[in-house]
Every structure is written in C-alpha cells, then in structure tokens.
Amino acid sequence: MGHHETTIFTEISALAVRHDAVNLGQGFPDTDAALREAVAAALESGQNQYPPLSGRPDLLAAIAAHQRHWYGLEVDPASQVLVTVGATEAVAATILAFCEPGDEVVMFAPFYDAYAGVVDLAGAVRRTCPLAFPDFAVDEDALRAAFTDRTRLVLLNTPHNPTGKVFSRPELELIARLAVEHDAWVVTDEVYEHLTFGVPHVPIATLPGMAERTLTVSSAGKTFSVTGWKVGWVTGPAPAVAAVAAVKQYLTFGAGGPFQAGVAAGLGLPDETFHSLRDALQAKRDLLVDALTSLGLPVAVPAGTYFVVADMAPLGVTDALALARELPARAGVAAIPVTVFHDDPDADPTLLRFAFCKRDDVLREGARRLSRLLG
Ligand SMILES: Cc1ncc(COP(=O)(O)O)c(C=O)c1O
C-alpha cells in the first residue's frame, strides 16, 4: 500500500472541499486547547533557534513526570526520553533504528497508514494479525502465527486507529508473552492514551518485564487537539532511545521549539483538564454513534480515539472505497474506507471510518446529510 492510501486521504479531502462536504474523513479536530500562551511566550521571548536533539529540557522533564504520574513508569529525562516531530517521526526513527532488511514486524491489521511506508523503507516485512469487525478481538492463534524466528518488533497501537479498539489487559499480556518468547521488542503507539471512554488505557510497558523491551510513543496532537504542532516523543531503555536518536538526528534533528514549550506546559495541567477534553470527545462519539446507529448502520462503538467504524453493507454497499469517492458529491460527507488501512486490497470492503473530533454542529450536519442520502 504505502503510496496508495496517501492518495486516498488527499483525494477524499480534496473532494470534500470541492463539494463543500462535511469532512468526517481525516482526523483533524476543529477546536483547540489552551496551551497557546506558553507557545506565544517562548516565541515572543526569542526562543526560536534549534531545540536540542533530544528535546527542550522542560519538555523532557514534563514527559518523564507525565509517565510517572499517570502510569507509575520511571524514566530518566536525560537518557530515556526523546522528543520527536510527532509520533510519526518517533515510529519511523524507531523502526529504522531497529530493523535490518528482512526483519519481521508483527502488526495488527487494519493499521495506521504511516506504518506500512516506514516498514517498507526499512526493508522489513510486515506480519499481520487480523482484527475483525465488530469487536476487533485478538485471536491468539492468529497472533501466534504472525511470530517467527525473524520477528524483530511488535508494532502495537492502543487505543487503535482506525477501529477505536482499546486493547484489553489479557490481550496485552498475550502480546507481552509472545514478545518475550521470541525475544522481540515492542514499539507501542499510544497517541490516543488520554482519549478512552470508560475503559482504562494500559501502557504495555507497565506489564511485568516489559519496560526493558518496550519503546512507548506518544504525541501532544490528539491529547490537546493540536495536531498541527507535531510534537511527539518516545520513552524506553536508554540504549534503545539513544539508537532512535541516532536515526532521528539525520531525519529532522529537531523542530518546533516554541511548540515544545507549549506541550511542556500542557503535560503539567491538572488531571481535570485531561478528563474534560476526554469527556467532550466522548459526547461527540456518542452523538455520531447514535446518528449512524439510527440510520440502521452496524457500528463498532469505539472505546477510544477520534474514530468510529460503520458497516455500509446493509445499504447494499460492496465497495466502500468507491462509495467514499462518491460520498462528497452525492451526500456532502467525507469518510475513509477501512480498506486503505490494510495490505490486502480486498480486506474490510464494506467498512467506512468516520471521525468525530469535530464541532457538534458539524457532526449533526454530517448526520443530517447522511440520513438524507439514505432516506
Ligand atoms: C495511531 C496514530 N499514530 C500517529 C499519528 C500521528 O501522530 P503525530 O501527528 O503526532 O505524528 C496518528 C494520527 O492520526 C495516529 O492515528
């Protein structure tokens, strides 16, 4: 896939603009949180040069404090934390640092689209374990079958894009057991860590024996609704973080000094701020899930993330990719076909992913337009 789905995202967003469609396709929110003052202060006081390779010291300290406060994970800010250009660079630099050509990466399909490109770039090989609509549960035999003696990494994503699944503790324990058995590292993308609805987010690094073989990736974009800032990070054992930094220095070195200051301020906000951002998003999830359900569409109610997957099969849809191309013009709505999150072009042919990180009036208008189409 790689290039294929980048085209689809760009194409659907362009169609959305052309047809003045309600864009429930790409996951960018249209509200933002109150970290701007810290960015403005850094900017106005002239902190506009290269930040250090590993990140601003105030942000490194804030990330370490965040891991301790929320999860009881101890990481040394000086050696076990690396600030990156979004979670995207953290995942890319980690895979490039760890994988030699022919190494295998165990992943769950569907998967966030950027993963495929960087696994390809490293010359590594994807081994996927399917997650099936509507519960997206991990099948132990399927997961076991994805591991071989060439397994180098497990690339986990919880809460999971595009399904909205939050991996359960028993599922994480199974992944951990298999990783240990095959002496594999785990790279876990937890960008939606604060956006779970009624279920806890469990970092796999908190499981016994896992901190020493896990690189945990996150980002400010989703937590604080600042996706354009692209401030992410990776934490883990010092030698592994150093290996990732060695790759990162030749990718970007660093970026966004003033934004790093904003995120440092954000991570230190009281728990209630995180909870209220989550609660606001949960209400939006409920709004969109109710709307899709009342249209007669089976949905997988997401336990986290920005996204809900709905099955269009009851409408006679057999090709959600074709439908996604038509929807902006026909209904004035944009959504993403789940097929593009797979290597197999025939996988999940009837599923669409809708984003609910939008203003309520935008969500309601999207639902109205869909019901007009279906009614
Ligand atoms: C699972 C996942 N990882 C990473 C990202 C990108 O994170 P960032 O913008 O911090 O690079 C996204 C954004 O959609 C995502 O859904």
The predicted structure's pLDDT at residue 359: 92
Question: Does residue 283 have a pLDDT over 90?
Answer: yes
pLDDT one-digit tens code per residue, 52-106:
999 999 999 999 999 999 999 999 999 999 999 999 999 999 999 999 999 999 9
The predicted structure's pLDDT at residue 11: 85
Number of independent structural domains in the chain: 2
DSSP at 366? H
**Which residue, by CA, sits nearest to atom 10 of ligand 1?**
86
Structural domain harbouring 260: 36-268
R_g over Cα of the chain: 20
Do 258 and 303 fall into the same domain? no
- Say what the pTM is: 0.93
Mean pLDDT value across the chain: 94
Position 30 confidence tier, pLDDT thresholds 50, 70, 90: very low
Do 150 and 285 fall into the same domain? no
Question: Does residue 263 have a pLDDT over 90?
Answer: yes
Do 171 and 83 fall into the same domain? yes
The predicted structure's pLDDT at residue 19: 85
- Asked if 101 contacts 124 with a C-beta cutoff of 8 angstroms, the reply is yes
Report CA 253 to chain centroid distance, whole Å: 23
Do 253 and 294 fall into the same domain? no
Atom of ligand 1 nearest to the CA of 85: 11
- 313 Cβ neighbours under 8 A, 6+ residues apart: 298, 350
The verdict on the CB of residue 161 being under 6 Å from ligand 1 is yes
268, 290, 307 — which closes off a domain? Answer: 268
Q: What is the DSSP string of 206-231?
A: GSTTTGGGEEEEEEHHHHTT-TTT-E
> Rounded mean pLDDT of 274-293?
95
- To the nearest whole percent, how much of the chain has pLDDT over 70? 96
Question: Does residue 189 have a pLDDT over 70?
Answer: yes
Q: Ligand 1 pocket test: which of 84, 157, 161 has the largest number of ligand atoms within 8 Å of its C-beta?
A: 161
224, 247, 268 — which closes off a domain? Answer: 268
Peptide bond connecting 208 to the previous residue in cis, omega within 30 degrees of 0: no
The predicted structure's pLDDT at residue 12: 83
Q: Of 81, 53, 22, which is closest to residue 373 (Cα–Cα)?
A: 22
Higher-scoring residue by pLDDT: 13, 324: 324
Do 284 and 188 fall into the same domain? no
Position 10 confidence tier, pLDDT thresholds 50, 70, 90: confident
The verdict on the CB of residue 164 being under 6 Å from ligand 1 is no
Query: The CATH number of the domain where 321 resides is what?
Result: 3.90.1150.10
Distance (angstroms) between ligand 1 centre and the Cα of 216 equals 13
Distance (angstroms) between ligand 1 centre and the Cα of 314 equals 31
Do 193 and 256 fall into the same domain? yes
210, 244, 268 — which closes off a domain? Answer: 268
Do 51 and 177 fall into the same domain? yes
Place of tokens 């099969």: 313
CA distance to 98, 129, 209, 337, 372, per residue, from 177 (Å) = 20, 16, 10, 33, 49
The predicted structure's pLDDT at residue 251: 96
The predicted structure's pLDDT at residue 307: 98
CA dist 138 and 129 (Å) reads: 8
**Which residue, by CA, sits nearest to atom 16 of ligand 1?**
161
> Rounded mean pLDDT of 264-292?
93
Atom of ligand 1 nearest to the CA of 90: 11
Place of tokens 């979670």: 87
Do 133 and 165 fall into the same domain? yes
Distance (angstroms) between ligand 1 centre and the Cα of 87 equals 6
Do 142 and 259 fall into the same domain? yes
Higher-scoring residue by pLDDT: 2, 77: 77
**Which residue, by CA, sits nearest to atom 7 of ligand 1?**
87
Position 22 confidence tier, pLDDT thresholds 50, 70, 90: confident
pLDDT one-digit tens code per residue, 134-178:
999 999 999 999 999 999 999 999 999 999 999 999 999 999 999
Sheet holding 299-300, edge to edge: 299-300, 307-311, 351-355, 336-337
Do 154 and 283 fall into the same domain? no
Do 264 and 277 fall into the same domain? no
The predicted structure's pLDDT at residue 23: 78
> Rounded mean pLDDT of 211-238?
96
The verdict on the CB of residue 157 being under 6 Å from ligand 1 is yes
Do 237 and 284 fall into the same domain? no
- To the nearest whole percent, how much of the chain has pLDDT over 90? 87
The predicted structure's pLDDT at residue 31: 41
Question: Does residue 235 have a pLDDT over 50?
Answer: yes
